[in-house]
């Protein structure tokens, strides 16, 4: 049991890793001895975060815009310049767009759906050889970062976001059933309120947001890191196609 939750020596690639939930997961993986590669669209932010996290272990910035299939392939090509295999892929990069039903624009829809739902599929596809290589000796892992908004509705008019995260949860199931045959375990995490640039309400009004959460608080870094470590480690090997809800109970209270 001593190594049940160990990811020491494993390689991990985390998209959207320069801030928010991606950074929380990267930090947790580094603290557990993994070799971590983070990607983000903004190069300077990605490089700065990697430099800061390097105090914890091996952390390398691979700044790419993965909102297109071409960008996903470019990131995959850059990763394989460093490593021959990939143990853990965290598809975390995401976007949101809030606007009324009457004015919701196509550009907002396409931006959100492409990054939140299309990118996880095509980046996983681009890195399938490296994931299969890792799976020769142990289960490789793909973790898609969904949202509780893909499970239950909130009052905000975030049509593409809710639809894309619900779609990602179902896509996770479909990918999981196929890829488990290759020794690749696919699951999702559905976060609730965590302070981030995407969830400014939790970041700027934590006390008010916490009052609506049964656990009485918003999520902290270790809550997210713990869930991601569990799914990435041997402890999560038999969890296939699941969505782990990390929200302090709020979906049950909606």
Where in the sequence numbering do the catalytic residues fall?
161
**Residue 27, C-beta contacts closer than 8 angstroms, at least 6 positions apart:** 53, 56, 221, 225
**Residue 30, C-beta contacts closer than 8 angstroms, at least 6 positions apart:** 36, 53, 56, 57, 58, 59
In three state form, how does the secondary structure of the chain look? CCCCCCCCCCEEEEECCCCHHHHHHHHHHHHCCCEEEEECCCHHHHHHHHHHHCCCCCEEECCCCCCCHHHHHHHHHHHCCCCCCCCEEEECCCCCCCCCCCCCCHHHHHHHHHHHHHHHHHHHHHCHHHHHHHCCCCCEEEEEECCHHHCCCCCCCCHHHHHHHHHHHHHHHHHHHHHHHHCEEEEEEEECCECCCCCHHHHHCHHHHHCCCCCCCCECHHHHHHHHHHHHCHHHCCCCCCEEEECCCHHHHC
């Amino acid at each position: 049991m001593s190594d049940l939750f160990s990811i020491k020596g494993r390689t991990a690639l985390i998209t959207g890793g320069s801030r928010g939930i991606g950074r929380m997961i990267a930090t947790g993986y580094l603290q557990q001895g993994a070799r971590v590669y983070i990607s983000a669209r903004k190069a300077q932010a990605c490089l700065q975060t990697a430099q800061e996290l390097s105090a914890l272990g091996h952390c390398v910035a691979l700044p790419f815009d993965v909102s297109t299939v071409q960008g996903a392939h470019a990131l995959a090509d850059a990763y394989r310049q460093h490593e021959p295999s990939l143990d853990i892929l965290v598809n975390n990069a995401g976007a949101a767009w809030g606007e009324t039903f009457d004015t919701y624009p196509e550009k907002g829809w396409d931006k959100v759906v492409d990054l939140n739902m299309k990118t996880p599929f095509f980046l996983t596809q681009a890195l399938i050889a490296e994931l299969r290589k890792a799976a020769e000796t142990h289960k490789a892992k793909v973790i898609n970062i969904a949202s509780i908004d893909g499970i239950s509705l909130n009052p905000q008019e975030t049509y593409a976001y809710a639809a894309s995260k619900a779609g990602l949860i179902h896509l996770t199931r479909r990918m999981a059933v196929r890829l488990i045959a290759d020794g690749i375990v696919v699951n999702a995490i559905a976060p609730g309120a965590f302070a981030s640039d995407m969830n400014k309400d939790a970041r700027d009004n934590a006390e008010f947001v916490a009052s609506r959460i049964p656990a009485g608080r918003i999520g902290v870094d270790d809550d997210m890191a713990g869930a991601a470590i569990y799914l990435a480690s041997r402890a999560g090997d038999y969890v296939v196609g699941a969505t782990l809800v990390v929200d302090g109970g709020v979906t049950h209270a909606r």
